[in-house]
Amino acid sequence: MTVWFFIIVILSQAFLVGGQIFLKHAMNKTEEAGTDRRASTFPFICGIGLMTLWFFLWFWLLSQVELSYLYPFDALSPLFMAFGASIALKEKMTPHLWGGILLIVGGLLIVGASQ
Amino acid sequence: MNADSSPAGASGGLPILRVLCCALSVTASEVCLKKAADGMPNLMSASSWLEIQTLGSGWVLAGILCYILSFVFWLRVLQVLPLNIAFNLVNIEHIFVPLASYFFLGEMISPIRAAGIGIVLLGVLVIAEPYCRLEERA
């Protein structure tokens, strides 16, 4: 596989993490009392847009390689999400959360390897 | 419960029902789409294009509806949980999907896959445990 393949995989994961961060940001805005609707509409549209880009990029990757090869990269998404949410949304990371994330990533890698 | 006193800044207890509904509707969507894909003709053959209306069949529509439902539940989960916790709790779908494949599609689960599913479940429980303890105290 070429360097480009890995760049596109990382880009698709970045779209996924970015899309979810925008959706969470939109949900936070709707929770804030007195916020006008437009404040949450923009991040919501950005979130949907990035998730759409992720979907088509992932679909294209699936057409290029076997699912069993691509699946382990998808299993890394909880790790990317942990870094993304702690940096962009300032969410607290606890030892419990890191432990759970590592177990999920490990479990998903084993499921991927069993294909 | 105050936002600062809960683990990782969650604004309330664990919305178990919403998380389960989200994961179950994703699972239902996957099963419906797999049923639809199995029932579809080989799209590479010319004659099968006449049968492409099967894309609008009941299974595809049910799959899309379940996916939309899961997105609505996902947004409801995001309203009350930090993204990190919500995203990882919904990973419980990786347990439901193989189980549904076994029960509804007749697929086999190998011992290695079962071990992986068990480790994912353990990870979800590790993340959920502090919230369950808080709910017991409340």
Give the pLDDT confidence of A86-106 residue by residue, as tens digits: 899 888 888 888 999 999 999
Q: Give chain A's radius of gyration (CA, Å).
A: 16
* Containing structural domain, residue A52: 3-113
Evaluate whether ipTM surpasses 0.85: no
Given the structure tokens 């193989």, which residue do they identify? B98
Percent of chain B with pLDDT over 70: 72
Contacts of A92 in chain B (CB under 8 A): 8-9, 82
Which chain A residues are Cβ-neighbours of B84 within 8 angstroms? 81-82, 85-86, 91, 93, 97, 101
Return all residues near A7 (Cβ < 8 A) that are at least 6 apart.
none
- To the nearest whole Å, the CA of A73 is away from the closest chain B CA by 15
Residues of A with CB under 8 A from a CB of B: 20-21, 23-24, 27, 30-31, 77-78, 81-82, 85-86, 89, 91-94, 96-97, 99-114
Query: Picking from A75-79, B43-47, B54-58, B85-89, which range would have the lowest pLDDT averaged per residue?
Result: B43-47
| Per-residue pLDDT at A111 exceeds 70 | yes
Question: What size, in residues, is chain A?
Answer: 115
DSSP B5: T
List chain A residues with CB under 8 Å of B85.
97
pLDDT of A113 higher than 90: no
Is residue B88 within 8 A of residue A97, CB to CB? The reply is yes
Dig out the tokens for A54 from the structure. 């992720």
A24 chain-B contacts, CB cut-off 8 A: 78, 82-83, 86
Please state which of the ranges A78-82, A106-110, B10-14, B114-118 shows the lowest mean pLDDT: B10-14
Domain count, chain A: 1
Read off the pLDDT of residues A14-49 as tens digits, 9 standing for 90 and up: 999 999 999 999 988 887 756 667 778 899 999 999
Q: Which residue has the higher pLDDT, A18 or A74?
A: A18
